[in-house]
Amino acid sequence: MPQPTIPQPTLQAPLPPQAVQAVKAALHNIPMNATVGVTITDVGVGWATGECPDTPAFQNHLGTIHAGAQFLLAEAVSGAAFGGAFAAHFASAVPLIERLDTHYVGRARGGLTARAEARAAELPAALEAYKTEGKARLVIDVSVRDGDNKEVMRAVAHWYLRSMATLRSK
């Protein structure tokens, strides 16, 4: 399977401040994110950034940041990007991650930063699918960098959103 590549940022649309705060709060309220120190630093329509500190408790046997902490950051920042894409619908929908394909490309030293971005060409179709069918899927690309700004992980997240109305109709 070819390794994912992270495209150059193409989505820059901002969200209203109250939507940014709602997406951040949803991700920050997940106990595991709080335990590891994962925070979402910015959110827009289909994109997000986040960070995770280098904490001795979450280092591996090599003294670098454990793959689990990197994975958690990638999942959280991809969820925030997905949340930014569907912010108008989150009060009446259930988001779920279906899959997170990861590729660790280097040892992580120092605090982590990450950027997640929906594939711009797929976003309009996903929004239309949710509008017409009450469900949508969207792929989010993630790049995680360490304290030296070296890419240490790439990921591709597959997210699914389903309206509560479609859940009740089953």
Mean pLDDT value across residues 143-159:
97
Domain boundaries, the chain: 17-168
1-22 b/e with 16+ CB inside 10 Å = b?
eeebebeeeebeeebeeebbeb
How large a percentage of the chain has pLDDT more than 90? 82
Whole-prediction pTM value?
0.89
Higher pLDDT, residue 4 or 119 = 119
The predicted pLDDT at position 169 comes to: 62
Residues 3-45 have pLDDT tens digits of 444 444 556 678 889 999 999 999 999 999 999 999 999 999 9
Q: Quick one: 17-168 is in which CATH superfamily?
A: Hotdog Thioesterase (3.10.129.10)
